[in-house]
Structure 1
Amino acid sequence: MVSLPPNLMQGIFLVQSGRKVEALAYLRHAARTEPVGPEGWLWLAAATDDLEEYRYCVQMALQLDRAHAVARQMRDDLARRGIPVDLPPDNGAGIGVAERSLPYRGTRRRRILLAVMVLLLLAAVLGVIYVVTMTDVLSDAVDEVDQALSGTETTIRVGSAPSFRFRVDLPESWMAADEDSGGWQSTRTALEDDFPAPGEGGGVLEQVDESFSAVTRDPVYGAVQPNVRLVNTDRVALAAEGMVATLTLQEILPLPEVDAGEDPTVCNRLGVLQRRSQDDAATDGSEVIASGLIERDLPQDCVFFVHRRFPIDSFDQNVFLLDPDRAPEAMRAIAIVVPVGAERYALWWLTYADEAAEAYQDTLDGILETLEYVPDA
């Protein structure tokens, strides 16, 4: 009898016992670290309630075994629901662990990107009247054609097939660091002239931006790859603080289940995250400044945050120092969690220099009050 890897074995046992929520953690970890094979991917599909994750698992199983009868039946069921499972041409090669973090690839993705960008451009044109007469909102970061984010309310779209749209109020000096945007490119070039890289090599601002339209969400682990950022472009602040202040989207994950007997509202499910954060003792040398669950529009609209102070060299996310020789000694990092529909949440990080904490308080308050997921109409 073939022995299964330990996490896969435990996950299968929990699914068979009807404990799918507990099984997910084991099966997702197994998919990332163990040779699960097509059967393992199908067990993960059986455990998840996330349709996107289910489709991805079926795709992975078929990439490993195109003739797998159960996987083919699951693919056909998805097709009848209007959810295609496309596979790359069969060249006789399997898929390796290193490829699992890149679920959307090839010409299909490019076609989808092109179609999405065309639709977004049309939507932006139709929305001009509303933008001019009602708000300063830009249609989204992908469609900012050669212009900076000039209003206080900013809407961005990241990724494609599926894409995620968020809206937030920010000071006018903040911009989406989208390398597809002409406005951002010209601003970045001007900033690089003011803040040249010390020594040889490119400046730190070259590391800040990404192509928002090329971003994907790993359907199994939730990571937004690569991270997307909104950044403060104010020259005075950059010179004084020595680092680039950023608001970064890092992950989109399933909401946890509530305790037995508790009403499973979005806000209550975010409350589970709040309790978990309080139970976790800080082991990274940080100081907790504040934390809490803010109820904005019950029962579905809440935001959870943890505000911490870190030594500049101990924060484990990207920190963009303009000149390492003039780096601040400490920084603020605020984890901000907002709902994404009824089943997921997005993890954002707001980071800035510790000495500028008072200057960023209004920015933080505005983000906590307004950062939200915007479903497509």
Structure 2
Amino acid sequence: MAGMSLALSLLALAAAPQPAAPSQREVFYGTLRQAQGGRVEQAVASLLQLAGQHPQDSYADDALGQAARLCEEELYRPARALELYRRLLEEYPRSRLARRARTRVEWLSAHLDQGEQVLGEYLRITRSAAKVGLEQAVAAMRKLLDAHPEFSLRAEGRYWIAGLLARTGQDREAERLYQQIAATSEDKQQAARALIDLANLRLAAGNLDGAEDAYRRLGELGPRWRQAAAGGMQQLAHAATRGRIPLVAGVVYALVLLWTWLAFLLGLRRGGPVRARLFLPPVEALVYLVVMAGLIAWAASGTRMTARALGWMAGLHLPLLLPAGWSWKSARPPRGGARLAVRLSLLLVGSLAIMVLALGQAGMIGEVLDTLKFGVSE
């Protein structure tokens, strides 16, 4: 009887539904989540196991491609990534990933000339700059390039440094580096690229003469770059027109500022009692300065151009806010709907002029006008 019960139990266990093994798709995406969680080494091993055990599965080529990508972009092991990309091309020549794999094979093969450690360090610096800080990343790249002057990515590394310097507001240092690249490079393509970047940097800073000189030197490189130089000269003509906008805004701001102070002083002269608290900073101005200080501190951690624009806005608004705030604290604030509307309209015009001046000082007028004209790029 006991034997029969045991047999029935075994039959029931065998008949019970077993949990289904995860599909290759579930394994693949689970491994990618593992990589996103920081376990990159384990993820690469799992992807290679998936591709090796199920070479005919529809996710096998994806597994190889992702393993190669992780080796290159996360582990900074370009030689291993090159090996996996080549394996992908050999085993799955018709894969949709073949084109990218072929591109990566060409690039990695061309730049392993100084060994895997050098290229791996280059990849690490360029991909982790935001995490370690831009200044530290620039210092690390300079150290790497100085230690390996024959490195095939030396020119790209110098461009990368110059771009980071420009982004952090170190325009003079970036300009010096672009000029050095253009003057010392034996490759005309590299020299042309440096001159174009130099012209754009000077144009953003409002140095139209310097930008014109860079475009002139670009045209002297040969017929291949004359069209680009001509386009740059045309861009300079538009920039000259745009350069008049801050000038007009400056005149408008000066007139509004003069009117605001005169209106305040004349109001006092007409008999408005001057109390001791009248010449304390208005609450509106203090609140505005606190808010702007917070915005400037926030922007300074990203791009200095935005921080510079906000700083100019705060500095130019203060002389306008003080008399306006004092007028409201005086005994004779503006009365009547028409007079109030005129005063508020003039203050609004002054604020718009300040915005234009701040954008001009930060070199952002062109970007804003292009955004208004063409919309935000995707």
Length-normalised TM-score, structure 1: 0.28
Pick the structure with more strand per residue. Answer: 1
Q: Report 1 or 2 for greater relative contact order, CA contacts < 8 Å, sequence distance ≥ 6.
A: 1
Q: Which has the higher helix share?
A: 2
Higher radius of gyration, 1 or 2: 2
